[in-house]
Homo-oligomer: A and B are copies of this chain.
Amino acid sequence: MNPSRALTFARARRSKFVSELKEFLRFPSVSSQPERAGDVRKCASWLAQHLQGIGLERVRVIPTRGNPIVYASWEGTKNRPTLLIYGHYDVLPGEPLAQWNTPPFSPTVKGQDLHGRGASDDKGQLFCHVKALESYLRTARALPINVKCIFEGEEEVGSTHLLPFIAQNKNALRADAAVISDTKRLAPERPAISYAQRGGLRAEIEVRGPRQELHSGTFGGAVLNPVQALCEIIARLHDEQGRVTIPGFYDDVREWSEKERAYMARTGPSDEKILQDAKVEQGWGEAGYTLYERTTIRPALTLNGIAGGHYGPGVKGVIPTRAVAKLSFRLVPDQDPERIGNLFREHVARITPSAVETLVRTLSPVQPALVDRNHPAVRTAGLAYKKGFGAFPVFLRSGGSIPVVNAFKESLGIPTVLMGFGLPDDRIHAPNEKFHLPNFYRAIDTSIWYLAAAARTLHGSSRVGRAEQLERERSA
């Protein structure tokens, strides 16, 4: 099927597409805040109706014990391959609200950017594919390839219910490859395909001290303070070289070949670029690795938040009863989240002073993931990028985690093409998140090209076992 009519359609509809994306962004579909569950469901219904409206079939809102999964498909051609398109319609909280220039759930166009929570991660990016599908369906009443769309509402909280859903619906979800746009490009003119994702594990440490708040004059100096104890435990999680000190933490970390590291140095962002994206003056972390390596092939332990005692306005001279820290592990091949969780638990127990008690909770384990750069589904994406963006993509490793990539490999036996449409300065997970609109338009074109090209190259190409083996050999 020639994509030219779909491309013409899409280009004529740009302002309408932006209006529709704004509608989508207006739902505060925050999966980590239980009080937003109603908004998450409304957002799922809106998305399902939208998919129905553009001509997809078998549209369903599938309830789970958590947030619903939105499913839609088009399987109108028997002898063509099937592409699974994944995205997530849930978003992170808007807090801290005071740091937004426009409210997070009042999407606003400023210059060439659309501002709003989810604009890039991931409503905007999944919408590129939806609009590509629409452009074919409205012009040809058909797609060049069979498609199954699966849009979840719990990516930001670990895809808890999607992963078992995939395992239980292997036949229904059968496909030749999956595509996910939930990653970033190097620059507007430098598209990128992510071929590696770090895994992850969330954890909380709670330190419990006195059963009741104590006057810090009366008891200060005689009772161990849980805030102090928590700080001392956290301080003992890294050494002065920025390495994690949990015994056994690095045991399973894969060492990459000089060739792979040289490839990374050639294609990946420089230290200066990463610092510029982060808007910080100075890097930090494990000695002996570039910042790109520290955020991709090396694991990390990050504090996400801490609270204890009296931290509001004013003063309160107390020894608090408890203090809690939230943290995230970012894991790399071949670290196993469960084993890391156990090592962490044991380490915290070992360094907890006897005068307080610690509780460790872990959640949302995600395995690290790798995709073969030479798989046809990936190579085809390169061609589509060349058409849509005028440049071949670079192959990048990502620092974050998309839990579903492993599920697609393990349950469905298919590779995932991580076709990033975001930009490094999109401020995902931060105030003033935005999506660059020229990027949005080119990404729709790219998806249109990809659907046409994948119809020719994908068939029978699913051989993830072998690809994975090659990847391992390369790194040996």
Contacts and interface: CB of A to CB of B under 8 A. Distances in A.
A319 interface: yes
Contacts of A430: 212-215, 318
Interface in A287-327: 291, 294-295, 298-320, 323-326
A181 interface: no
Nearest to A303: B227
Given A213-B429, A231-B235, A295 B220 contact: yes
A245 interface: no
Contacts of A140: none
A161 interface: no
A267 interface: no
Contact of A221 (B31, B221, B223, B285): B285
Contacts of A33: 313-314
Interface string A216-234: 1111111111011011101
A219 B303 contact: no
Contact of A312 (B95, B220, B330, B431): B95
Contacts of A232: 231, 234-235, 238
Interface in A324-357: 324-326, 328, 330, 353-355
A131 interface: no
A268 interface: no
Interface string A418-433: 0000000001111110
A81 interface: no
Nearest to A36: B314
A434 interface: no
Question: Per DSSP, are chain A's interface residues mostly helix, strand or loop, or mixed?
Answer: loop
Contacts of A95: 310, 312
A246 to B, nearest CB: 14
A210 interface: yes
A466 interface: no
Contacts of A281: 355
A473 to B, nearest CB: 27
A224 to B, nearest CB: 4
A302 B216 contact: yes
A475 interface: no
A309 to B, nearest CB: 3
A398 B217 contact: yes
A279 B223 CA distance: 10
Contact of A429 (B274, B284, B306, B317): B317
A212 B323 contact: no
A401 interface: yes
A92 interface: yes
Contacts of A291: 222
Nearest to A237: B228
Contacts of A87: none
Contacts of A308: 303, 305-307
29 contacts: A34-B314, A93-B312, A200-B217, A200-B317, A212-B432, A213-B430, A216-B300, A217-B328, A217-B398, A220-B301, A221-B330, A223-B285, A230-B231, A231-B234, A231-B303, A232-B234, A232-B235, A234-B235, A302-B319, A304-B309, A304-B317, A304-B318, A305-B316, A307-B307, A309-B326, A310-B326, A311-B324, A311-B326, A317-B429
